[in-house]
Structure 1
Amino acid sequence: MSKLINPPLILASTSAYRRELLGRLRIPFEVVSPKVDETPLTAESTLELALRLATAKAAAVAKDHPNAWVIGSDQVADLCGAAIGKPGNFERALAQLQLMRGQAVTFHTALCLMKGEQQTTLNVPTEVTFRKLSDDVLESYLLAEEPYDCAGSAKSEGLGISLLESIQSDDPTALIGLPLIALTGLLRDAGFVIPSKN
């Protein structure tokens, strides 16, 4: 078996969704949890918040791993300029879905690839239009899916797809949490071979 040809790669994330998505590329990587305060800054837009947190996550891990490329990513849902975060429980999730029904919501999925002083940061927006559904339908969805760790409470890769009227994006994996089309391009620019030969 030939030696590994790709550089060391670390995913700076605690998200099981991002870990699963990155695993689709079939390149070896480690996962390290970044220690980052995710509190929005005063007057910070949803896009600025997503980009800042993606960069901060990558930087928090990169400082202790100078020889590795580090991926940071963050997603912020935007409804009329207001950030819609992870609900955490049933009541907040229901309130989110009630607020978003019949509305267009932009999900900003920011991505940062960093090694030492080198870094590239970008955003992949996804516009999602929610169906106008009754409270009973929304409650049934929440009890079935329990999407309390997802921004906007709608897991598009699961039953949450039934809440949506349309999705517009250049990258179907961005809405799940890690834009693989954009990431693959960044990794190749950094010298990764995808698919890799192990």
Structure 2
Amino acid sequence: MLTGAGVSFSIQDAGVDEDAIKIRLTGTDPADLALELARAKALAVSRKDPHAWVLGSDQTLDLEGTMVSKAPDLAAARLRLLSMRGRTHHLNAAAALAHDGVVVWSGVDTARMTLRHFSDGFLDHYLAAEGEALLGSVGCYRLEGMGSQLFDRVEGDYFTVLGMPLWPVLDELRRVGVIAT
């Protein structure tokens, strides 16, 4: 997304133990959890390189009050998609900007997404075509690919679904002078 928007960046693993944060924040609203994970990632990298502007991001999926985590394998992805078939979930995308070891901005956006009543045959074809790439997505879909066929309706920003609330991030990067106004 940032490349497409013309923003130069480099990637660094934050080394954040997401599972420990999730355990510590058990019971937290999924949108707030996404925000805390994004903040933790931005802070971890900013503390290593305090003069850099660091953007951290994360997503959480709320299926009717239950937080869903990434599937460990394609069998679990199949079960996940079957459990979501015909149902609506909320996908929360959060981002945080840190500088000098301090979070200077953070935000979260939520998309409301309804999967259609797809056939078992379509699901098998989808899983075979997309393969293990789906395991990197909390919802086991990529809306920018064949996953778009899973849905009846998506309400919210496309970039939020892809993983980051891009418009607010770009606004903040302009505000702090990282990109041109």
User: Normalised by the size of structure 2, how large is the TM-score?
Assistant: 0.91
Q: Is 1:103 equivalent to 2:90 in the alignment?
A: no
Q: Say which SS state the counterpart of residue 34 (structure 1) adopts.
A: coil
Aligned to 2:126: 141
Q: How far apart, in 2, do the equivalents of 1:107 and 1:124 lie?
A: 8
Report the Cα offset of residue 84 of structure 1: 1.6
Aligned to 2:77: 93
Q: How far apart, in 2, do the equivalents of 1:128 and 1:106 lie?
A: 6
110, 135, 154: which one pairs with 2:141? 154
Cα contact 2:31–2:110 (8 A) shared by 1: no
25, 31, 37: which one pairs with 1:47? 31
Tell which deviates more after alignment, 76-85 or 151-160. 76-85
Q: Say which SS state the counterpart of residue 122 (structure 2) adopts.
A: helix
The answer to which structure has the higher helix fraction is 2
174, 183, 187: which one pairs with 2:173? 187
Q: Say which SS state the counterpart of residue 77 (structure 1) adopts.
A: strand
How far does the alpha carbon of each residue in 1:89-113 deviate from its partner, in whole angstroms, 9 at most, with x for none?
1111011111111111100001101
Aligned to 2:160: 174
Q: How far apart, in 1, do the equivalents of 2:179 and 2:39 lie?
A: 24
Cα contact 1:93–1:153 (8 A) shared by 2: yes
Aligned to 1:77: 61
Cα contact 2:39–2:103 (8 A) shared by 1: no
Report the Cα offset of residue 27 of structure 1: 2.7
Aligned to 2:12: 32
Cα contact 1:34–1:60 (8 A) shared by 2: yes
Q: How far apart, in 2, do the equivalents of 1:191 and 1:54 lie?
A: 21
Name structure 1 gaps, 5 residues minimum: 1-20
Cα contact 1:34–1:57 (8 A) shared by 2: yes
Cα distance 1:155–1:118, how it changes in 2: closer, same or farther (>3 A)? closer
Report the Cα offset of residue 45 of structure 1: 2.2
Aligned to 1:65: 49
Aligned-pair Cα RMSD in Å: 1.4
Identity between Structure 1 and Structure 2 (%): 33
